[in-house]
A and B are shown apart, each in its own frame.
Chain A
């Protein structure tokens, strides 16, 4: 047997041994996975957007099967998907209303500037440098961190204007809500009607001095609402969408014109004066 024969033999024997060891190991250390998890994961969108609170679709699928998590926590799954997951699980599932993100500021470029910010073009960094030069503490800095983080391309943004969020594309995953350093993006039900486009908690006189479209907390909307759905919490106007009947009284009553109709077609650009 020549040198080639010996080499081939030894490598073959080593390979065979390795194969046998792995075959035995895969039997001994086999982990059983519930087959439903894989099927449910196939129904889930697979974007790993973490809108459900889990790091990935696979983890969420195993939570649905093992911990009884509700499949409608997935922000992207539409009704037929939820029903399909319910079929796979063999239990009743419900569908909650879809949520979409809206920006609570239209002041952006219109409000007063204290200085021209020329630093790194990111909201999170500009926040450390005097709010990017904005006089208003609650002002959208218009540098587009939300645009950059959106995994679904629902946000359109040009530098210098507040971003607009396409409610048809938005899945309500909440990534922009967490990303915004000013915390002026919030989630509302997709059927929401009136929306207060200002997040300021400042006093009226101060707001009036620095922003043409800021909320001066005059409370006209709170008083006019027939359902008592609007409340003033620490200077911030909040609408309870569970009570709102979409009568539109507050939209007409607002002297600053900053309660807007979310159902009306809008561009998200600067409000008319």
Chain B
């Protein structure tokens, strides 16, 4: 029950894009069409889950015993980058199909701030290993959900009549803003 609450609260209420403003770069950059947005969402989900687990272990078994918790940010970036490269090598060998789907998106999200953010938040809120992984998975799922919704809206926006000054990025920001407003409606859903 606790885990479900973590999953849904990070996915919907404390969404990484709409509530914490993390990972805005791929949110606007890769939401042109639904297909690539879905691939990006899958890749983020994958990396966030894996990174949560690995960084929790690194923090607990390396940084804590050495008493160098202040190195979290730089070590986590290192660990996440290595992990992504490693996973890419494994996928290339084992599953060409998955590689074609995630392909170019995996290296893109190596230094995505949402991925780093989820790892730092795990440590900050003293989560256990299982909780961290669920938190990471929920964060990735929330990211995928929102980026797919955004891609759907932007596909429709392409044929809408938008004033010249607002075309492209400006109207996308306004759409993102309205989505954030509507997601505020979920506030307090898991408070009790």
Contact = CB atoms under 8 A, between A and B. Distances in A.
Interface in B136-184: 159
A22 B93 contact: no
A29 B93 contact: yes
B68 interface: yes
A125 B161 CA distance: 14
B191 interface: no
A125 B159 CA distance: 10
B139 to A, nearest CB: 23
B interface SS class: helix
Contacts of B79: 14, 18
A10 B78 contact: no
A120 B74 contact: no
Contacts of A22: 82, 85-86, 89
A31 B93 contact: yes
A125 B158 CA distance: 13
Contacts of A6: 66, 68
Nearest to B99: A31
Interface string B70-81: 110011001101
Contacts of B159: 120, 122, 125
A11 B78 contact: yes
A189 B48 CA distance: 54
A44 to B, nearest CB: 19
A248 interface: no
Interface string A5-40: 011001100110010011001100111000000000
Interface of A: 6-7, 10-11, 14-15, 18, 21-22, 25-26, 29-31, 120, 122, 125
Interface of B: 62-63, 66, 68, 70-71, 74-75, 78-79, 81-82, 85-86, 89-90, 92-94, 159
